[in-house]
Structure 1
Amino acid sequence: MLDPDEFYDEYPPERLEDELPERPISSLRDIQHLYGRLYTLATAGGGDYAAYLTPDQANDLIGAEESLIVVRVDLSGDRPALDADEPVKITQYADDLIQKVAHCKYNAARGIDHSVTHRSGRNSNPEKLARYACERLTKWATDDVVQDVADECPDGEVIRGLATVGDEESNLDRIRSAVKAELGGSTTALLTVQVRREVGADYEWPGDVPVFNEAMRARKLSKLVSKGQATNSAGQATDLISGERTRTVGTAEDPLNYFLGKQMEKFPGLDPDEAWRSHPISEDGAVTLMNAEEFVDACSYRTFNADVYYLPYFLGRPTPAETYNLYAALHSVTQADDMGPVQTLYDELGDHEANSEGRLRFYVAAVMKHQMSRFDVYGETLNGRIHYPTEVGERHEQITESWVFDENDDRNGDRTPPMPSHEEWSLTTYQDFREMVGSGAYLYRTFPFTDEDTDATVDDERIDVHVSILAGDPVPRTQLVSAYVERLLDRDGDDVPELLIASQFAQLCALENADLVTTDTGDTESTLIDGPDYNIMEPEHARTDGGTAALDRTEKLKSFIEQTDGLDDPERKGAFLLGTLVGQVGTYQQGYHDRSTTVIDQYPIKSMTKTKIKRITQEVIDKDVVYSREMAKKGSNINSTMYKEVTNAIVETMAGNDPSGWEISTDDLRFYYALGLTYGMNDRSTNEDDATTDDETTDESPDTNE
């Protein structure tokens, strides 16, 4: 395959312009055809038969000793015969012979290649190679498809001459003897023929003889119209790619196996022989699609037991300049172990570059490969951009470096931030998230696990949301929250996974801020959710030096509630406040009473329902009152409850709003209760200090509804 510089030298702009599609790129088939065309130009060159050749299938033989075995047939006399002096020539396969041998591989275990040139198995012994050499005359030349071509072409006598030579056992004995005598031992080789058609003329290679090319083309095409249950799926129709009316085939292969005769369950009522009517691809176009395989496979990675394809292309009709950049990226990614070159293409030519006019896009699909010929597509889009993973990553960084997670932020002072963080929980710490978002690891850390021995299913939330993020398609908030809660409940024990909850919360905020979350679907049209902005600073907390004054515990709670988008709903806010109080009281029980079982254990996430909230709320408030009195008796300066900023807010929120009648879903209730638990358990300030601070500020309850 030509490297990018060689590709440019071989195909300067004016020449490349003639090789590019006339129509704009508007479908997966268009992208695959462009990839296949570029691959063909870079390997087999131009010409009518280039798309049918497979030169890369023998690259490893170039320069190897005894890598080309040639049977020489003289057709210039009265009767076809083997060359009198050298019936078999054994030589070295070289670069200048690639086009001449015109090899077309057929991937079948016991079949012969489409071309008269055939590649042997690895390290075949001389006896087997002698048999392959004879089969150029006895098997390939007598193939029904090849014979049909011979009957129709003016130079068909060339093929008939090969078959005539192969009919005589004495000729085959000469071939066998020559191969065995001249070979030094076992080897891997291409086996082909040369023919001399006129007295005194040079021997010609298959690539220089039109009938050999036509026969090779016909054999390959015959497999495209008789795949699977189809016997002759071909007819005159409008080609999906070129828009021209021509002979089309209906069971054309492609690297993603999207339309196959065997997959009748995916196309109810499909008649494989009539498939050319519903999925018409021209014969040359079908072969070109097959040639896209190396580039298509290179632009993919595996996640969630599925293959995610991320195929770059430019909107509209590609220009030569864009095509050079595209080819450079495709060539580079075939040499790389990851998708780095594709990301580099976006960095250089994405929306931010004026010379691309924002035309760079990606076809994105998640595909489950059950068998060689049975694939399921879980989601796809033509509007994918690395812009979206980048956007989500940047928004996540903003969340984790804000005062909500960063304990060094001035607003936290000596207190812990609202949410915990740990360097081993990457979604709670500041870093570059783009690669994590693009690879799928971003959701793997927060969404439910599946049995690793079981293939992902079509309703796998991870795949669905992952493709949506890559495509920039917003997902319903309920879908995210339900997945988060399922992950929280799918655990052994009732302990609170604080860092997992904090990770899920940061992810939800990031997706909201990236405009990728919509309101709950219902009777009204869903709208995008505006996520939180934790950089907001109340004027009274601004310092004269430009910094931010530390928040006391009441201000901290008030600021977190006001700035968190989801908590503007009173029912979610009520669940959050209850969780906060349970987390605070439970932490106090463990730290000051050394209790092994606390209210956190008594009221686990999985047991939380709307019918239990009222009772649990009263019980936890009562415990807060009891413990506050105990502290007062011990000489604390407290003259109210320890966590009155929370209890007062709970009373305000739930006043006249019986939780048993809430409309909030159980998943929403549990998620925000879990978030509150995490907030409360992360509040590790000294209770006596908190009580003193509360008393010194005000006896009025905070207005958390502002």
Structure 2
Amino acid sequence: MSLLPEPSTFEKRYSDDEKLAGELPDRPITSLRDLQYVYGRLYTLATAGGGEYAAYLTPEKSTDLFDEPESLLYLRVDLSGDKPRLDPDQPIGVESYGEEKVEAVAHSWYNAAKGFDHSVTHRTGKNKEPEKVAEYLHERLTAWAADDVIQEAAADHEDGWIVDALAELGESERLRERIETAVDEQLDGKTTALTTVAVKSEPDGEYLLPGEASTVFNEAMRARKRSKLVSKGEATDSIGEATDLVTGNRGPTVGTAEDPLNYFLGKQLEKFPGFDPDEAWRTHPVSEDVAVTLMNASTFVDACDYYTMGANVYYLPYFFGRLGPADARDLYGLLYDLVHAGEMSPLESAYRSYQDIPRLQEMGDRFRFYVAAVMEHQTKRFDVFGDSMDGTLFSPVELTRAHQRVLQSWLYDAEGDADYPNPGLRAAFPTPDNWDIFVPEESALLSILATGWYFEQTFAPADDDDASADDYRIRALVAVLSGEPLDVETVLTEYVERLLEDEGEEFPSFRVSAQYAQLCALAEAGLLTGRDAYEPVAEPRQLTHNHTDDMQQDTPARADGGNVAAAREMKLEQFLEQTPALAEDQPERRGSFLLGALVGQVTGYQQVSEGRSTTLIDQYPIKAVTESKLKRLASDVLDKNIVYSRENNMAGTMYSEVVDRLVTTLPQIDIDGDWELDTTDLRFYYSLGVAYGMNNWASSDDEQADGQPAAEEEEA
């Protein structure tokens, strides 16, 4: 059960703009710490309300106990006489804990395997025996009330005598036995509960729980929590006078506050050589109040986090600039939806909210995201990379829309694109039904992008199971979420490494098809960058004039005989014209693609018309393509194509539209000159050509390579 109120309730509770503005930072959100502080303030307002102690309380830690039997146990301590004593008639109170008791028990949880919570109220472990529950109750007096930090805080409070009386009672003989006996009499077996005290200061008064009795309990709680902010791990007293990095106020700052994203940890000494944990307040100065508010951000921060490829990816929404009251209500609603998003990723949930809330749409560029990936290499050892405050929802959404447009183009949809020049031929590349990267629905694409599967299907997998900051799949995901372009050389390297790993008994044409769809989408969305010779690869497809009508006036592109060659030529010409990386002034890349296209088409012919199991692609796999071998491989393949043409009594050369362009391109390649491309680039475009060629068949199962054999054409 969540204590978070629905957005409408939050809005009613904080409808007063002036009052809400007073609870918000008075400066713009410019850093992750600012953002976490805002999250912590909104969470505290929603769950514990305002007031000076609200940020220190943790009411959400025990909502699972609501309405459970025997979930609240307390010592009934009578302080109205000369000496403190347990109530003689009913020393133990046992109730069902509920939401109405949250403020009264004033619980402040402490994340420690051993030790006690900051508040006098302490949560037991799960399903504890009555004897163990009695021990927890006894420790409210012997451990909490007698603690040095608690005692020091009580000494400065007018009601400090209450804490002293509890400590004094804890020293009473046989007190533990009395508590155990009372617990045994009133508990019905094992339980999980909050254990605390209720005190009575007047003979005719009522027993009051800590939050009702006196602020001394909360003052002492705050003091103990403060002590953990300055003395945790190897630090013993990390506190000093400095300027708070969130509020900008000068004053005492602490150095060992917890961090929901694990950015600043005492054990991360490798990030700060020679680091002294006691001087952490200099490195990361935040005041006590800011520190606990940052810690309270964890629920909202965790809602914006998901795990993929060995890393936690964070996608934290915020509004650029100073947060106003209306902004705060909208941001709370957005975070509330993220907490209740179920299996939906933060990206998907945020996009759904964006579509449903007009004010978010009106914000435009103000609606931003902090994006980062955090990898845990071992216990409490984290690596943070790729973090950015400038992520926008529009970058990943535009990528999915660009991907949609690519899939709906004639490259992948022969029937759905009116600009496709050759309706009788297949689309340029295959689209297998069981690959979700080929599903054109926006919601599906957004899901596979958000979860990282978008890059897992196309990039090289990690070398081992251990998470690594060098995993480019994670870096690509973070970059796309934050709107940062990817280096196209690196992308091609990832592609080819994956293809070489996949290449086995069959050519990985589906993988190539998926990679090219992604490459086109990234380019169209402006998410690729390339230097010098790689600039054309980073450019989007250039839509050119469609020659279909001109061709159909005299030579309709039919796949049922005589004009398949013309249809293929028109298709190839349009593909080359629309692909900047394959322009005539890019002979190396163009030559690699045409060589691959010829290998692919001959391979397709061998498989379909001759039923061969060993084909041309088996003889010339991807790894065979290098700069020095390119021309020789092309010469060998051209010779084989001529032999096939003669053996099958073709009227001309098989696949002449590819052959003619390949023969024209090869002389332009100067292998001994200044070679601008590397082997990876050539191999990718060779692979792309193979996939193109293998898919370049007409719908007729009886199609011949360039129309009918010569003898049959003469009969016609």
TM-score, normalised with respect to structure 2: 0.90
Residue of structure 2 equivalent to 1:475: 486
Does structure 2 retain, via aligned residues, the 8 Å contact 1:378–1:463? no
Task: State the shift of 1:368 in Å.
Answer: 1.3
Match of 2:691 among 658, 667, 678: 678
Give runs of aligned pairs for residues 353-364 of structure 1, distance below 5 A. Answer: 353-354=361-362, 356-364=363-371
| Compared CA separation, residues 170 and 351, structure 1 to 2 (3 A) | closer
Does structure 1 retain, via aligned residues, the 8 Å contact 2:310–2:467? yes
Q: Which amino acid aligns with 1:126?
A: P
Distance 2:594 2:307 in 1: 41
Give runs of aligned pairs for residues 139-178 of structure 1, distance below 5 A. Answer: 139-178=143-182
Once the two structures are overlaid, the 10-residue window that deviates more, 67-76 or 248-257, is: 67-76
> Would you say 1:10 and 2:13 are equivalent positions?
yes
Deviations along 1:139-195, whole A, 9 cap, x unmatched?
111111111212333322211111111111144443333222233333222221122
> Would you say 1:555 and 2:570 are equivalent positions?
yes
Distance 1:150 1:62 in 2: 31
Match of 1:343 among 348, 351, 373: 351
Does structure 2 retain, via aligned residues, the 8 Å contact 1:420–1:428? no
Task: State the shift of 1:136 in Å.
Answer: 1.0
Match of 1:323 among 307, 328, 343: 328
Q: Which amino acid aligns with 2:47?
A: T
Distance 2:11 2:536 in 1: 48
Task: State the shift of 1:688 in Å.
Answer: 4.5
Residue of structure 1 equivalent to 2:546: 537
Residue of structure 1 equivalent to 2:413: 406
Unaligned runs of 5+ in 2: 560-565, 711-716
Q: 3-state SS of the aligned residue for 2:94?
A: strand
| Compared CA separation, residues 542 and 598, structure 1 to 2 (3 A) | closer
| Compared CA separation, residues 243 and 528, structure 1 to 2 (3 A) | farther
Task: State the shift of 1:463 in Å.
Answer: 0.7
Does structure 2 retain, via aligned residues, the 8 Å contact 1:87–1:178? yes
Give runs of aligned pairs for residues 179-328 of structure 1, distance below 5 A. Answer: 179-208=183-212, 209-328=214-333
Q: 3-state SS of the aligned residue for 1:683?
A: coil
Does structure 2 retain, via aligned residues, the 8 Å contact 1:401–1:430? yes
Does structure 1 retain, via aligned residues, the 8 Å contact 2:544–2:574? no
Distance 2:642 2:94 in 1: 97
Distance 1:43 1:660 in 2: 72
Distance 1:96 1:419 in 2: 63
| Compared CA separation, residues 594 and 129, structure 1 to 2 (3 A) | closer
Once the two structures are overlaid, the 10-residue window that deviates more, 489-498 or 673-682, is: 489-498
Distance 2:43 2:359 in 1: 26
Does structure 2 retain, via aligned residues, the 8 Å contact 1:349–1:360? no
Does structure 1 retain, via aligned residues, the 8 Å contact 2:255–2:278? yes
| Compared CA separation, residues 63 and 612, structure 1 to 2 (3 A) | same
Deviations along 1:65-124, whole A, 9 cap, x unmatched?
332222222333333333344333223323322111111111222211111111122222
Deviations along 1:538-575, whole A, 9 cap, x unmatched?
4854989xx99997111111111010121122211011
| Compared CA separation, residues 43 and 656, structure 1 to 2 (3 A) | closer
Deviations along 1:381-406, whole A, 9 cap, x unmatched?
11112211211111111111111211
| Compared CA separation, residues 145 and 571, structure 1 to 2 (3 A) | same
Q: Which amino acid aligns with 1:214?
A: E
Distance 1:589 1:173 in 2: 91
> Would you say 1:565 and 2:580 are equivalent positions?
yes
Residue of structure 2 equivalent to 1:427: 437
Q: 3-state SS of the aligned residue for 2:629?
A: helix
Does structure 1 retain, via aligned residues, the 8 Å contact 2:422–2:557? no
Does structure 1 retain, via aligned residues, the 8 Å contact 2:422–2:568? no
Task: State the shift of 1:357 in Å.
Answer: 4.3
Q: Which runs of 4+ in 1 moved over 6 A?
A: 547-551
Distance 1:478 1:90 in 2: 68
Distance 1:539 1:92 in 2: 78
Distance 2:27 2:305 in 1: 26
| Compared CA separation, residues 592 and 341, structure 1 to 2 (3 A) | closer
Give runs of aligned pairs for residues 433-448 of structure 1, distance below 5 A. Answer: 433-448=445-460
Deviations along 1:483-525, whole A, 9 cap, x unmatched?
0000000135253111110110111011000001112379x9x
> Would you say 1:376 and 2:387 are equivalent positions?
no
Distance 2:477 2:144 in 1: 49
Distance 1:236 1:36 in 2: 23
Distance 1:500 1:407 in 2: 19
Distance 1:140 1:10 in 2: 35
Does structure 2 retain, via aligned residues, the 8 Å contact 1:114–1:216? yes
Q: 3-state SS of the aligned residue for 1:362?
A: strand
Q: Which amino acid aligns with 1:493?
A: G
Deviations along 1:327-356, whole A, 9 cap, x unmatched?
1222222223223432222334589822x2
Residue of structure 1 equivalent to 2:656: 644
Task: State the shift of 1:624 in Å.
Answer: 1.7
Distance 1:316 1:227 in 2: 34
Distance 1:535 1:211 in 2: 78
Residue of structure 2 equivalent to 1:700: none
Task: State the shift of 1:478 in Å.
Answer: 0.3
| Compared CA separation, residues 514 and 181, structure 1 to 2 (3 A) | same
Does structure 2 retain, via aligned residues, the 8 Å contact 1:100–1:207? yes
Distance 1:507 1:165 in 2: 71
Distance 1:426 1:605 in 2: 25
Residue of structure 2 equivalent to 1:698: none
Give runs of aligned pairs for residues 53-92 of structure 1, distance below 5 A. Answer: 53-92=57-96
Q: Which amino acid aligns with 2:291?
A: A
Q: Which amino acid aligns with 1:575?
A: S
Q: Which amino acid aligns with 1:258?
A: Y
| Compared CA separation, residues 164 and 693, structure 1 to 2 (3 A) | same
Q: 3-state SS of the aligned residue for 2:141?
A: helix
| Compared CA separation, residues 667 and 108, structure 1 to 2 (3 A) | same
Distance 2:120 2:545 in 1: 74
Match of 1:109 among 101, 106, 113: 113
Residue of structure 1 equivalent to 2:530: 519
Q: 3-state SS of the aligned residue for 1:552?
A: helix
| Compared CA separation, residues 404 and 230, structure 1 to 2 (3 A) | same
Q: Which amino acid aligns with 1:404?
A: L
Distance 2:161 2:393 in 1: 57
Distance 2:338 2:526 in 1: 30
Distance 1:335 1:656 in 2: 60
Deviations along 1:196-217, whole A, 9 cap, x unmatched?
3345444333124122111111
Does structure 2 retain, via aligned residues, the 8 Å contact 1:72–1:88? yes
Q: Which amino acid aligns with 2:352?
A: T
Distance 1:380 1:133 in 2: 46
Give runs of aligned pairs for residues 104-143 of structure 1, distance below 5 A. Answer: 104-143=108-147
Distance 1:645 1:548 in 2: 14
Task: State the shift of 1:13 in Å.
Answer: 3.6
| Compared CA separation, residues 307 and 350, structure 1 to 2 (3 A) | farther
> Would you say 1:418 and 2:424 are equivalent positions?
no
Once the two structures are overlaid, the 10-residue window that deviates more, 7-16 or 458-467, is: 7-16
Q: Which amino acid aligns with 2:9?
A: E
Q: 3-state SS of the aligned residue for 1:131?
A: helix
Does structure 1 retain, via aligned residues, the 8 Å contact 2:488–2:537? no
Task: State the shift of 1:424 in Å.
Answer: 1.7
Aligned identity (percent) is: 49
Does structure 1 retain, via aligned residues, the 8 Å contact 2:240–2:281? yes
> Would you say 1:489 and 2:506 are equivalent positions?
no
TM-score, normalised with respect to structure 1: 0.91
Residue of structure 2 equivalent to 1:690: 706
